[in-house]
Amino acid sequence: MTPPADTDARRIAYGAAFTEGLAQMMDADPNVFVAGEDVGRAGGVFGSFRGLNERFGDMRVVDTPISEQAIVGLGTGAAVSGLRPVVDVMFMDFMLVAMDQIVNQAAKLKYMFGGKATLPMTITTSAGAGLSAAAQHSQSLEAMLCHIPGLKVVMPSNPYDAKGLLISCIRDDNPTVFVKHKRLLGLKGDVPEDLYEIPLGTAQVVRPGDDVTVVTYGRMVHEATSAADALAAEGIECDVIDLRSLQPLDMDTVVQSAQRTSRVAVVHEAVRFGGLGGEIASQIAEEAFDYLDAPIERVGAPFSPVPFSPVLEKEWVPNAEMIGERIRALAAA
């Protein structure tokens, strides 16, 4: 994916695009600050906050104790008081420790105050398998968060979207969750130096095609695109949609594609059972059932914890070959 042709772009890594967007927002708005475990002197477990402490100081890049409840609670209080905190929960798995703060406090506060309060807090976190980080550091739990009214959730697949979506999250007056995939942090792409936004709730067609609609997000965008490129040699053209924003969902783009292709596959790295694919498939069935020529295919991980073994983990995560096989069968149905 590339930025618009009229932008002055450079090729930088996904992680660097995230850091740059955050630093520029901190420059532009003194109310923006960062807090979390090791975000200050260490620069974050994956280097996502590297250099910010030296640039902005301890008061705006705050190292916290190892307490996810305290981190999110700090962000919630600061946000309702008029600041724009960016709080980091090191691994997505650890968000479960702070679910009361996220679900019953941050997500509900505007409702509880009759819409008279704002809560411009961004929670950043890292998700996904592929680093042999085992069952407690490798999960993709975005479907849980998307189920919570009051939260907005994004999961960018490339550096350009990482910067643009982060800026939109920070500027939003609602609690947002920005999910980075650990395996994408080194991915390079064209990124404009200026500040720019990608509106929340807008998907993008990253590879046009007329035979099968493939709906996906995060790291699976790259696996699905690789599968689509291979299938093109067999005469099967896939319309690959990168959701980018998971809550709100851009179902208009998805439904319009489904109506045109008549076949749909939904792909995500998260466990297939109870995953976001079920909700997407249901909405497609509600809006475009009469256009479908085959059942909606769902591709996701098996219903098991993420294996520690590199060999088993590689088999557990959906890949281009697996996705291609399912799409090939769907096209023939």
Tens-digit pLDDT profile for residues 212-228: 999 999 999 999 999 99
Side-chain half-sphere exposure of 135, counting CA atoms within 13 A: 4
The C-alpha atoms of residue 323 and residue 319 are separated, in whole angstroms, by 6
Contacts for 224-227: CB closer than 8 Å, 24+ residues apart: 224/267, 224/320, 224/323, 226/320, 227/320, 227/321, 227/323, 227/324, 227/327
Strand partners, 301: 271
Residues of the chain with pLDDT under 70: 1-9
The pLDDT score that the predictor gives to residue 2 is: 47
The C-alpha atoms of residue 211 and residue 155 are separated, in whole angstroms, by 26
Neighbours of 231 (CB within 10 A): 23
Domains of the chain, CATH where assigned: 12-192 (3.40.50.970), 204-332 (3.40.50.920)
Side-chain half-sphere exposure of 180, counting CA atoms within 13 A: 33
Cis before 248? omega within 30: yes
The pLDDT score that the predictor gives to residue 232 is: 98
Cβ atoms 35, 64 nearer than 8 A: yes
The pLDDT score that the predictor gives to residue 197 is: 98
The pLDDT score that the predictor gives to residue 66 is: 95
The pLDDT score that the predictor gives to residue 37 is: 97
The C-alpha atoms of residue 33 and residue 86 are separated, in whole angstroms, by 6
The pLDDT score that the predictor gives to residue 56 is: 97
The pLDDT score that the predictor gives to residue 1 is: 46
The pLDDT score that the predictor gives to residue 3 is: 55
The pLDDT score that the predictor gives to residue 277 is: 97
Closest alpha carbon to 247 in 107, 112, 44, 94:
107
- pTM of the predicted model as reported, rounded to 2 decimal places: 0.96
Strand partners, 213: 239, 264
The C-alpha atoms of residue 248 and residue 254 are separated, in whole angstroms, by 13
Give yes or no: 137 in active site: yes
The pLDDT score that the predictor gives to residue 18 is: 98
